[in-house]
Amino acid sequence: MKKKDLKKLDVLFFHCPVTFNKKTDLILDHPLMGSLYLAAILEKAGFTVEIFENRDCFLNLYESLKFIQKKKPRILALSSFTSNIRGNYQLADAVKKNFGKEIIIALGGPHISSDPGIIKRFPVFDFGVTQEGEITFPKLVKKIINDGQKIKGVFKGETPLNLDFFPMPSRHLVDWGRYKAFRTHNIMASRGCPFHCVFCSIPSIDRKTRYRSPQLVVDEIEETQKYIKGLYFTFLDDTLTLNKKFFAAVCDGIIKRGLKIKFEGHTRANLLDEKLIKKMRKAGCDEIIFGVESGSERIRNEVIKKGISDEDIMKAINLCKKYKIKPDLYLMLGFPGETESEMMATVNYPQKVRPNIFGLHITVPLPGADIWEKSLKEGIVNKDTIDQYIKGELGEGFNENWPVYVPQGMTVKKLEELQNLAYKKYYFQPKYILGRFLRDISSLTDLKRDFREAFNLVKMGHASYLE
């Protein structure tokens, strides 16, 4: 029998770990939506596409090269946060050394948007696309594959103003068996954030807020369920209830179609009201995550520029509890001018407002954020920090080696002590432990998870699901 000719793979999306030189305890729980959207647009245009998930370092560097050699993609598409730009560089460097010009390497994702110079500094990446890539990247793929053009340099992504032009994400390309901790489908209803928090690098991507039609959002929820029986959804919107009328329409669509789902999302405490949260609960809202950042109103509003009062936060949490929605908090330590007493206000804040869970992180200055520029001026980071990290000169691993913001008069050790104190003061209260036990007793999975997290808190001072 004559062997069937197979069309050569045009684009392989490969998701890299933080580093290939160190084991990771990351447990995959969801695919990356950016690759799924790009893959869908490319497939619609007639290109052959595959996605390989390796954020958990399932394949080591040698095995990754063998995999890529077997697939023979024309273009290897890498997408990177600052945290895993080291792993992306390691793979790109190895591919160039082994395959030369045979494979074209593209870089996208949040990091290049705030550091476009990386393409010149590290020419193992043939070209890069900043900001959003759904319009620009497919055009470049066409030039390379259909027109035979050589593409080099950095290309600014064109902002898609009409999100409804996206086809449904290519979830059929996902190997669902790789997501061992799967509990949620990711979904996007809007893009962009008009706010400008000092620690956030989103402004380097695009702040313009855009919305999909509510009907298409609900269509995707329905369509997604045929891939796996997960009925839990996480909305990736930067601020889910920024436009209350819009999200109320999404909820109306879910209710009208009788979709029995649960969902969670991020929003701001001052962008909720009782009418909306009642409708969200009816549609299946199970959990809301609030970015509170600091227990000090001065730090939260004068330094971080959050514009949210303690009263706003307490009102939002009480509304959640009234309608049996779990309220979660993100908190941070380490801001310019922050005093120890203001840090203690953050440490004690969970006991004051009693959330479902909270995560407390030491502020990390990321490229593209205002606090990065301040950290440069203060010498916390320098112009070579990014390159040193990429080359492994800071050590292997992001959390262990990337600089954190330390206010004057404080030390990293002191910040870590306060972080651990906050977790232990709240999570080890008998009242909290009993409440979690009673809530989880009907679910062996949840009970096992809570015992595991208690162990992590004692041993490492943090809960893994909050990292």
pLDDT, one tens digit per residue, over 388-434 is 999 999 999 999 999 999 999 999 999 999 999 999 999 888 877 77
Q: Average pLDDT of 31-54?
A: 97
Spelled out in words, what is the top-level CATH class assigned to the domain 11-156?
A: alpha beta
Nearest-Å Rg of the Cα atoms of the chain is: 23
Spatial separation of the C-alpha atoms in residues 21 and 31, rounded to whole Å: 23
Expressed in angstroms, the distance from the first to the final Cα of the chain is: 54
For residue 457, what pLDDT band results from cuts at 50, 70 and 90? Answer: very low
Spatial separation of the C-alpha atoms in residues 135 and 160, rounded to whole Å: 7
Q: Look up residue 229 and give its two tokens.
A: 């029986």
Spatial separation of the C-alpha atoms in residues 231 and 149, rounded to whole Å: 44
CA 158 centroid distance within chain = 21
| Per-residue pLDDT at 168 | 95
Q: Average pLDDT of 246-252?
A: 98
pLDDT above 70 (res 462)? no
Q: Look up residue 241 and give its two tokens.
A: 């209830």
For residues 32 and 17, the answer to whether their CB atoms sit within 8 Å is no
Q: What's the length of the chain?
A: 467
In the sheet that holds 127-130, the strands lie side by side as 49-53, 11-15, 75-79, 104-108, 127-130, 153-156
Spatial separation of the C-alpha atoms in residues 95 and 462, rounded to whole Å: 36
Q: What is the DSSP letter of 299?
A: I
Average pLDDT, the chain: 90
pLDDT, one tens digit per residue, over 11-36 is 999 999 999 999 888 888 889 999 99
For the chain, what are the domain ranges?
11-156, 183-363+404-427, 430-467
Q: At what angle do helices 430-440 and 412-427 cross, to 10 degrees?
A: 60
- Vertex 419 angle, CA 316 and 322, to 5°: 20
For residues 338 and 303, the answer to whether their CB atoms sit within 8 Å is yes
For residue 7, what pLDDT band results from cuts at 50, 70 and 90? Answer: low
| Per-residue pLDDT at 170 | 96
- SS3 at position 81: coil
| Per-residue pLDDT at 364 | 96
- SS3 at position 151: coil
Closest by Cα among 200, 208, 198 to 157: 208
pTM of this structure? 0.91
Q: Which residue has the higher pLDDT, 464 or 111?
A: 111
**304, amino acid identity:** I
pLDDT above 50 (res 146)? yes
pLDDT, one tens digit per residue, over 181-210 is 666 789 999 999 999 899 988 755 667 899
Closest by Cα among 224, 240, 311 to 33: 224
CATH no., domain 183-363+404-427: 3.20.20.70
pLDDT, one tens digit per residue, over 76-88 is 999 999 999 999 9
